[in-house]
């Protein structure tokens, strides 16, 4: 039996197929599937692991300090906010992700949430099922999208793809991303703006940034209440980007026109979460990444990253830079 152990720590959400097992077979590694949802479980079962495949488990500095054999932590997905990157780098552990496996799905989903809120799709659907056939009474003051302003916060792969799709609907696109040159944004047909100016002038604001210490509550109370009156917020990135209490207040007061949310600060939200009671809010279950195709691609590439590191090769999509001896 191989002593090169790859520990998969998610609670059975990610199914492993023949293709993934074959990838580990190339380097003589043995897969151990063991749900590890707490720091204590990760410390106990991670000690023997040369690699960890993780979904959303807490790979904190304390956990990483116990991973004496680990050479790579491979994330099933894009965000790595549950991995202490500084601790991993200091320990010589490569962290990888799959940053572009669901670009089409996530940008489609953001657009779907936008359309569902703006076109009042859930309310109209419910009304018809209840025997009500009164468009004006149910839909209210729906406005045409063409010619309105969409503010895109974050212009990486997902933000740029969403911006292109929003422009195809006739929306005028503005972008805030301090890490992307203005010329690059302009070459894509959008206009760069500082964040506060974008929020104050956009009819729709869509978030496409990772959750970090710097972006936690990026949309705090001040910024939420600085948004254009009647604006719609779309968030398919991370719930922690938004101060939910302030968002509820702005929606209840009618300051904002609605929100399309795929993510929450705490997931899943409780049934008494105030956002779920608001008719101007459309919610989904952190599912913007999902399709059969994206799932298969994400699984395979996460396993491939592990195999590459264990074989002494650089992985395709590293998140950190680890010095090589």
Distance, CA of 314 to CA of 305 (rounded, Å) = 8
Domains contained in the chain, CATH given? 5-101+292-310 (3.40.50.720), 103-283 (3.40.50.720)
Residue 191, pLDDT above cutoff 80: yes
238 is catalytic: yes
- Tokens (6 digits) for 163: 């911006």
Residues whose CB falls within 8 Å of the CB of residue 99, separated by 6 or more in sequence, listed in order: 78, 157, 317
The HSE-up count of residue 183 (CA atoms within 13 Å, CB side) is 0
239 pLDDT more than 90? yes
CB-CB contact of 266 with 244 (8 Å)? no
- The per-residue pLDDT for 323 is 73
* pLDDT at position 325: 44
Mean pLDDT, residues 292-320:
97
pTM over 0.95: no
In which band, very low, low, confident or very high, does the pLDDT at 87 lie, cut at 50, 70 and 90?
Answer: very high
Quick one: pLDDT at residue 183? 98
The number of residues making up the chain comes to 325
- Please give the average per-residue pLDDT across 114-136, as a whole number: 97
Q: What number of CA atoms fall less than 13 Å from residue 315's CA on the CB side?
A: 29
The catalytically annotated residue of 34, 249, 286, 297 is 286
- Whether the per-residue pLDDT at 1 is higher than 70: the answer is no
**pLDDT confidence band for 105 (50 / 70 / 90):** very high
Q: Identify the band that residue 2 occupies on the pLDDT scale cut at 50, 70 and 90.
A: low
For residue 141, give both structure tokens. Answer: 């003051």
Mean pLDDT of 200-214: 96
d(CA 47, CA 66): 7
Q: What is the mean pLDDT of residues 81-98?
A: 97
Percent residues over pLDDT 70 in the chain = 99
pLDDT at 112 over 50: yes
Task: Indicate which residue of 33, 267, 293, 313 is catalytic.
Answer: 267
- Report the Cα 183 to chain-centroid distance in Å: 26
Tell me the pLDDT of the chain averaged across its residues: 96
Q: Are 204 and 149 in contact (CB under 8 A)?
A: yes
Instruction: Answer yes or no: is pLDDT of 324 > 90.
Output: no
Question: pLDDT-based confidence at 320, cuts 50/70/90?
Answer: very high
Residues 6+ apart with CB under 8 A from 128: none
DSSP state of 133: -
Q: Does residue 273 surpass a pLDDT of 90? A: yes
DSSP H or E segment with residue 99: none
Distance, in Å, from the CA atom of 165 to the CA atom of 190, rounded to the nearest integer, reads: 12
- Give residue-wise pLDDT tens across range 67-86: 999 999 999 999 999 999 99
Q: Which two tokens stand for residue 144?
A: 């045409």
Q: Is 245 a catalytic residue?
A: no
Q: Which of 109, 238, 289, 304 is catalytic?
A: 238
CA distance 81 to 227: 27
> What one-character-per-residue DSSP string does 237-290 give?
S-GGGB-HHHHHHHHHTTSS-EEEES--SSSSPPTT-GGGG-TTEEE--S-TT-
Q: Is 86 helix (H, G, I), strand (E, B) or coil?
A: helix
Contact 60, 40 (CB under 8 A): no
The Cα 162–Cα 106 span in angstroms is: 8
CB atoms within 10 A of CB 190: 25
Query: Is residue 265 annotated as a catalytic residue, yes or no?
Result: no
């Amino acid at each position: 039996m191989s002593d090169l152990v790859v520990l998969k720590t998610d609670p059975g959400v990610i199914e492993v197929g023949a293709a993934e097992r074959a990838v580990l077979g190339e380097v003589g590694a043995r897969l151990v599937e063991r749900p590890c949802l707490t720091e204590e479980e990760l410390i106990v079962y991670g000690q023997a692991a040369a690699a960890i495949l993780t979904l959303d488990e807490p790979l904190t500095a304390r956990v990483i300090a116990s991973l004496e054999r680990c050479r790579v932590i491979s994330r099933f997905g894009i965000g790595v906010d549950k991995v202490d990157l500084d601790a991993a780098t200091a320990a010589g552990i490569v962290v990888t992700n799959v940053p572009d496996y669901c670009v089409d799905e996530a940008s489609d989903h953001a657009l779907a949430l936008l359309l569902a809120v703006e076109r009042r799709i859930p309310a109209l659907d419910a009304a018809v099922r209840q025997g009500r056939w009164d468009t004006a009474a149910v839909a209210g003051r729906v406005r045409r999208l063409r010619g309105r302003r969409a503010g895109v916060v974050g212009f990486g792969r997902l933000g740029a793809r969403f911006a292109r799709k929003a422009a195809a609907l006739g929306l005028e696109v503005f972008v805030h991303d301090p890490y992307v040159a203005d010329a690059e944004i302009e070459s894509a047909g959008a206009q760069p703006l500082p964040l506060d100016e974008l929020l104050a002038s956009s009819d729709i604001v869509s978030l496409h940034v990772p959750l970090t210490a710097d972006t936690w509550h990026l949309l705090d109370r001040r910024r939420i209440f600085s948004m254009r009156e009647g604006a719609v917020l779309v968030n398919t990135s991370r719930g922690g980007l938004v101060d939910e209490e302030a968002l509820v207040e702005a929606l209840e007061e009618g300051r904002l026109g609605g929100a399309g949310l795929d993510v929450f600060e705490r997931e899943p939200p409780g049934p008494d979460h105030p956002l779920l009671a608001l008719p101007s809010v459309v919610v989904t279950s952190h599912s913007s990444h999902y399709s059969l195709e994206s799932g298969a691609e994400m699984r395979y590439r996460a396993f491939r990253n592990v195999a590459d590191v264990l074989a002494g090769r650089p992985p395709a999509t590293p998140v950190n830079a680890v010095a090589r001896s």
